[in-house]
Amino acid sequence: MATAQLTASSISSRNVSSFEGLRPSAVQFPSVVRIGTLTQRSFRGLVVKAATVVAPKYTAIRPLGDRVLVKIKEAEEKTDGGILLPSTAQTKPQGGEVVAVGEEKSAGKSKIETSVQIGAQVVYSKYAGTEVEFNGAKHLILKDDDIVGILETDEIKDLKPLNDRVLIQVAQAEDKTAGGLLLTEASKEKPSIGTVIAIGPGPLDEEGNRKPLSVNPGNTVLYSKYAGNDFKGKDGSDYIALRVSDIMAVLS
């Protein structure tokens, strides 16, 4: 992925206005980076990413090893009610169609086929892979393990998780405090409890065999708050797909 990263140390304190009780030397500010006659302001850690454009002279992309090439699904331009969305409000897709796969992936000393085949409709981790523009369309090259599951319908509840992934229907947030006060949507705490809807076949051991997961569909579980990928179902329910290692306990 084409990546431009700008970093710098600090700016001279004589260019910073000070306030009572605030010492300029104690605070880091964006520095000025001069390139020729062009001046650009940057912040430490700011990374600008763009898709790598594959020139028209190349007619095919062949992923290597356990990598998969996915043609990204186009973002929704309208809401369910038919309202046009500006580009800034369109949700970044997390799914697409597998158009090429690598030859195999490693599992210990064993070599096995990738978990998906050409033509499969898949959902992948939000920040996975390298985006490329090929034949006028956006694609993503990512590892087999970054694919969350196979989704053959438009309903996220129909997701078939892969490997060690688990699909959970998130419990509804409490509408009231313990004292009976009504909570606004903004003040409702994100639940970390839900019901397991579907599970993957399990991770591979060194012999290439699947290890069963420690949870089953129907289990009510407690999971790590900031884990996984969130989805909104057409029924209005919230779902999350995460690794089984992010589940902390089974509730009963």
How many domains would you assign to the chain? 2
Domain of residue 168: give its range.
Answer: 163-251
Residue 82: is its pLDDT beyond 80?
A: no
Q: Are residues 135 and 177 in the same domain?
A: no
Q: Which pLDDT score is estimated for 8?
A: 42
Is 5 inside a domain boundary? no
Q: How far apart are CA 110 and CA 205, in angstroms?
A: 9
Is 94 inside a domain boundary? yes
Bridging pattern class, strands 67-72 and 137-143: antiparallel
pTM of the model: 0.69
Average confidence (pLDDT) over 124-152 = 93
The pLDDT tens digits of the residues spanning 84-123 come to 544 443 345 589 999 999 987 776 677 778 889 999 999 9
Residues 157, 197 contacting (CB under 8 angstroms)? yes
Q: Are residues 137 and 190 in the same domain?
A: no
Q: Which pLDDT score is estimated for 74?
A: 80
The pLDDT tens digits of the residues spanning 146-184 come to 999 999 998 999 999 999 999 999 998 655 555 656 545
Q: Are residues 212 and 147 in the same domain?
A: no
The pLDDT tens digits of the residues spanning 25-67 come to 444 544 444 444 444 444 444 444 578 999 999 999 999 988 9
In 3D, which of 117, 109, 187 has the Cα closest to residue 150? 117
Is 202 inside a domain boundary? yes
Q: Are residues 130 and 201 in the same domain?
A: no
User: What's the whole-number average pLDDT of the chain?
Assistant: 76
Residue 196: is its pLDDT beyond 90?
A: yes
More confident residue, 96 or 127: 96
Return the CATH number at 169.
2.30.33.40
Q: Is 145 helix (H, G, I), strand (E, B) or coil?
A: helix
DSSP state of 22: B
Q: Are residues 170 and 198 in the same domain?
A: yes
Please, which pLDDT band fits residue 209 given cuts at 50, 70 and 90? confident
Got the DSSP string for 186-248? TTSPPP-EEEEEEE-S--B-TTSPBPPPS--TT-EEEE-TT-SEEEE-TTS-EEEEEEGGGEE
Q: How far apart are CA 236 and CA 239, in angstroms?
A: 10
